[in-house]
Structure 1
Amino acid sequence: MEAIILAGGFGTRLAHIVSNVPKPMAPVNGQPFLQYIIDDLIGKGITKVVIAVGYKKESIIDHFGKSYKGCEIIYSKEDTPLFTGGAIKKALNQCRDQNVFIINGDTFFDVNLLEMLKDHRKNNADLTIATKEMENFERYGTVIIENNKITRFLEKKPERDGIINGGIYLIRKTILLTFNEERFSFETEIMEKKLNELNIYAYMSNGYFIDIGVPEDYAKAQLDFA
């Protein structure tokens, strides 16, 4: 199995706390957050990781090199920001598998990847999104699911409870490689605008979830990964 990790963001909301490295390399209990993600992926059967890098990419490349704990590491380098869709599309050119996992480099979500792949194939899905039930949140948009298929994406707003997009995707490679744009938002141009054209399914998981994109959760990660 192969995975792309999106690690090219600027991390502006953490800039006053972590300014010398890209957000996925923010130190959590003495090691980069990205290392926890890659360790988890390797433990779940991922044998090749393509890291989409941009801002301060040298810190990531120097740390992981071309191989990490037996896992092949390749870098997809952005000279100018390509946004999420462009970054994924460029990185997919480095992948051999027809279905590839996409991971956000600032989010840790404990998902059974093998079971997610089984569901993806069973549903003949173009895109499967790992989702999670959550209470009392406002940072995440919610999804509406009918018979495991995603029918609507709702905007971020304060919610007492709902199902969120957990930021792990399994994508059929061809749906992006045939998309004409090179610089675009995956969430807007693919997930939302093509919702009625593509088979987009949810894979529900109740696994541990944390997004270190804001200082409060970054501080929580220091305790959770102790």
Structure 2
Amino acid sequence: MNEAIILAGGMGTRLKSAVPDLPKCMAPVNGKPFIAYVIVHLQQQGIEKFVFSLGYKHEYFIDFLQKNLSAGNYTIVTEQEPLGTGGAIELACSVVQSENVLVTNGDTLYKMQYSSFKQFHLNKKAACSLCLKPMEYFDRYGSVTMNGNNEIIAFHEKKITTKGLINGGVYLLNVSQFLSNHFPEKFSFEKDYLEQKTGSGKLFGHVQDAYFIDIGIPDDYVKAQIELS
């Protein structure tokens, strides 16, 4: 379990005012692409192999990856047209070599501790485990509800919330169980997979109160320049 899929194919529409000509994950933060911080954190957690799911302006990643990762340590899969988050993960899973794979977004840095997350996932025999971030006074993210066994039983729409758990966008996925579903070519991982699996006994949440930043909007992109200095 030392392999990760990094989703980096999004257009980053909300960030275009700050970074008009680059894919969102390649937005510079203190002189290096944001995705570099994601990769380094995962390497520090024991991840050795990467699958990069690319799409929009994928050519911008090539030189960076060639200079920063050994050729045998990463694979690139490229969407010829947008497949949605679910379609992108399904395509990436077709080249994954491990039974369980970490999945994360290339525009979000969540400094979770992988060893405890991995053990949780295996203990639960989960089809998919989510790393959940405790947060206060938020309206940008939806919240997640679990039962006493850490099984996820509900996802809630975005609204003003004083205290709750958000989906941190970091998953551990049992590859064969995921691929055994009959998905359309284009689908949403969140809507068409996660929300459909609530209450199935296969979807679990692991809470970690670790550093989290999502550079999807200009204000948080500016914040990243300060916090990741």
TM range (shorter): over 0.9
AA in 2 matched with 1:164: I
1:153 aligned to which of 149, 152, 155? 155
The answer as to 2:83 corresponding to 1:82 is yes
User: CA 1:70–1:80 in 2, change beyond 3 Å: closer, same or farther?
Assistant: closer
- Name the counterpart of 1:216: 219
- Name the counterpart of 2:59: 58
C-alpha displacement of 1:17: 1.0
SS in 1 for 2:190: helix
- Name the counterpart of 1:174: 176
| 5+ residue gaps, structure 2 | none
SS in 2 for 1:193: helix
C-alpha deviations, 1:96-119, integer Å up to 9, x for none?
A: 111100001110001111111111
Q: How many residues align?
A: 226
C-alpha displacement of 1:65: 2.1
Task: Give the whole-Å Cα distance in 2 for the aligned partners of 1:26 and 1:71.
Answer: 25
Task: Give the whole-Å Cα distance in 2 for the aligned partners of 1:56 and 1:70.
Answer: 21
**TM-score, structure 1 as length reference:** 0.96
- Name the counterpart of 2:165: 163
Q: Which 4+ stretches in 1 moved above 3 angstroms?
A: none
User: CA 1:71–1:40 in 2, change beyond 3 Å: closer, same or farther?
Assistant: farther
Q: RMSD across aligned C-alpha pairs, in angstroms?
A: 1.4
AA in 1 matched with 2:204: Y
SS in 1 for 2:73: strand
AA in 1 matched with 2:189: F
C-alpha displacement of 1:73: 1.4
User: CA 1:161–1:86 in 2, change beyond 3 Å: closer, same or farther?
Assistant: same
AA in 2 matched with 1:194: K
- Name the counterpart of 2:198: 195
C-alpha deviations, 1:27-70, integer Å up to 9, x for none?
A: 00110000000011111100101010000101112211286168
Task: Give the whole-Å Cα distance in 1 for the aligned partners of 2:52 and 2:201.
Answer: 26
After the TM superposition, which residues 25-174 of structure 1 pair with which residues of structure 2 at under 5 Å, given as runs?
25-65=26-66, 68=69, 72-147=73-148, 148-174=150-176
Task: Please say if residues 52 and 91 of structure 1, whose CA atoms lie closer than 8 Å, have aligned partners that are also in contact.
Answer: yes
Task: Give the whole-Å Cα distance in 2 for the aligned partners of 1:3 and 1:182.
Answer: 22
C-alpha deviations, 1:151-208, integer Å up to 9, x for none?
A: 1111111111111111100011023212222210000111001223351111111110
My pick for the range that moved more, 9-18 or 168-177, is 168-177
Task: Give the whole-Å Cα distance in 2 for the aligned partners of 1:71 and 1:118.
Answer: 27
2:210 aligned to which of 195, 207, 222? 207
| 5+ residue gaps, structure 1 | none
Task: Give the whole-Å Cα distance in 2 for the aligned partners of 1:139 and 1:189.
Answer: 21
Task: Please say if residues 46 and 71 of structure 1, whose CA atoms lie closer than 8 Å, have aligned partners that are also in contact.
Answer: no
Task: Please say if residues 67 and 73 of structure 1, whose CA atoms lie closer than 8 Å, have aligned partners that are also in contact.
Answer: no
- Name the counterpart of 2:187: 184
C-alpha displacement of 1:21: 1.1
SS in 2 for 1:202: strand
